[in-house]
Amino acid sequence: MAEWNSKQYLKFEEYRTQPARDLTNRLLKYNPNTILDIGCGPGNSTAVLKEAFPNAYIKGIDSSENMIEKAKRTYPNIDFEICDISNIKNKYDLIFSNACIQWVPDHDVLIPKLMNNIEENGILAIQIPINNSEPLYKIVDEIVLDPKWNFNHNKIHKIRALEYEEYFNILSKCSSDFEIWITKYLHRMASHKDLIDWVKGTSLRPYLDELSEEKGKELESEILNQVEKVYSLMDNGEVIQGFKRLFFIAKK
């Protein structure tokens, strides 16, 4: 699988960072001394944590070399390293993750495992995109199933997220207390093309990785054609993209 592209991901940096801010604001009543940011990407979420908890030791980890290099260049005062989520060794007062664990399978196993990497009375704080019901993602899912693309769907790394009731049950078994909620964001997109650029940075990326540049542009064009039919232009020419995200904060 090709490397994550930090430049593409950060085209919509403000929208991608806002959920990290919203989650962090719920954590201000805690006083963590050590924090781990899982799937830190280019460091935008880790910087939010650094601003909120300036005296804490904070480490950002990601499996992408490109993302970690970008994070180190942008935020040289924060500790970043390449590390897979399955290789976390130490314990932390706060483990934080903004839009990462949806790429990891078996959340019923993963979440209790992460709780084991938290100090007593520590906190696990997670945000997960749950946007598959939105038209943009339905269009992508339908088009990539066309046999003409010859995708090996068993090979392609896909987003995995459970229903909120399932997360509720998992947390009720592995934490002493928790809160869980869903927020739907309404993003202002300058054009229909921006919707394509958004998914190119995340969910469409694994499919584009499997295609030549020419075929990739063909796929993007087909998705754009359908997007233009479904998403109406607002009076000012912009497009509204609805985006739901699930949050939870669990105490060990």
Task: Report residue 160's pLDDT band, with 50, 70 and 90 as the boundaries.
Answer: confident
Contact in structure between 248 and 171 (CB atoms under 8 Å): yes
- Give me the pLDDT at residue 153, please: 86
Q: Does the CA dihedral 197-200-204-208 come out positive or negative? A: positive
- pLDDT cut 70: percent of the chain above it: 96
142-155 pLDDT per residue, tens = 999 999 999 988 87
Whether the per-residue pLDDT at 1 is higher than 60: the answer is: no
Quickly list H helices, 29-184: 44-52, 65-74, 107-116, 135-144, 164-174
- Supply the DSSP symbol for 87: G
- Give me the pLDDT at residue 13, please: 83
Higher pLDDT, 153 or 249: 249
Residue 1 domain-assigned (yes or no): no
List all residues 6 or more positions away from 113 whose beta carbon is below 8 Å from its beta carbon: none
List all residues 6 or more positions away from 126 whose beta carbon is below 8 Å from its beta carbon: 96, 97, 101, 111, 247, 248
On average, the pLDDT of the chain sits at: 93
Expressed as residue numbers, the domain containing 164 is: 6-251
Q: Say which residue the tokens 């990326």 belong to.
A: 205
Measured distance CA(48)–CA(58) in Å, rounded: 11
Residue 93 domain-assigned (yes or no): yes
- Give me the pLDDT at residue 2, please: 44
Whether the per-residue pLDDT at 8 is higher than 60: the answer is: no
65-114 pLDDT per residue, tens = 999 999 999 999 999 999 999 999 999 999 999 999 999 999 999 999 99
Task: Report residue 9's pLDDT band, with 50, 70 and 90 as the boundaries.
Answer: low
Please calculate the CA angle 24-118-99 and round it to the nearest 5 degrees: 45
167-219 pLDDT per residue, tens = 999 999 999 999 999 999 999 999 999 999 999 878 898 899 899 999 999 99
Measured distance CA(135)–CA(141) in Å, rounded: 10
Measured distance CA(49)–CA(21) in Å, rounded: 8
Number of domains present in the structure of the chain: 1
For the chain, the C-alpha Rg in angstroms (whole number) is 18
Residue 71 domain-assigned (yes or no): yes
What's 167's domain CATH number? 3.40.50.150
Measured distance CA(74)–CA(229) in Å, rounded: 39
